[in-house]
Amino acid sequence: MPEKKKQELKDRAPIVAAYLRVSTDKQTILNQKSEVINFCHRQELKITMWCTETVSGTKKESERELGTLLKKLQKGDVLIITEVSRKMMNIMNIIHQSIEKGITIHSIKEGYKFDSSINSQVLAFAFGLCAEIERTLISQRTREALARRRAQGIKLGRPKGS
């Protein structure tokens, strides 16, 4: 990395970003915002950037505002979320990217802090293992369900010509 770019990174004040998401426009981010503000007050952090969106949590972060936010964040920055996504693979990807870039993630409800520490890496490994087990179990259940349907004489797949 050129020296000028390194110096710019050193001189730049760290970003403390809060990410708030709801799934539908019938929901509100007000409770999440309140949680973040209270957390930051206790941790003596000042939010410098808010990112909010209404999008399904099953979408990849690259298809959400979260992806854009993660691209902006750099080493030393902090990302605050209210809770870890239920979609394990999405959160694993986010954690991995963040640890690699030197970004700290705080997940308020679970009380997790993901950074470059060994504890965070162990926790990220455990999440990865859980995600792998989850994928295996889903695949196994799908194969079993398809076998059961075949045994019942149900034709699988699209009808010919469709």
Query: Rounded to two decimals, what is the model's pTM?
Result: 0.71
Active site residue 62: no
What is the pairing mode between strands 78-81 and 16-22? parallel
pLDDT in tens, the chain (162 residues): 566 555 555 678 999 999 998 888 888 889 999 999 999 999 999 999 999 998 876 677 778 888 899 899 999 999 999 887 656 566 777 888 888 899 999 989 888 888 988 888 888 778 778 777 877 888 899 999 999 999 999 888 888 876
Q: Quick check: 20 and 82 in contact, CB under 8 A?
A: yes
Q: Which of 126, 3, 8, 20 is nearest to 76 (CA)?
A: 8
* Active-site entry in 23, 34, 56, 139: 23
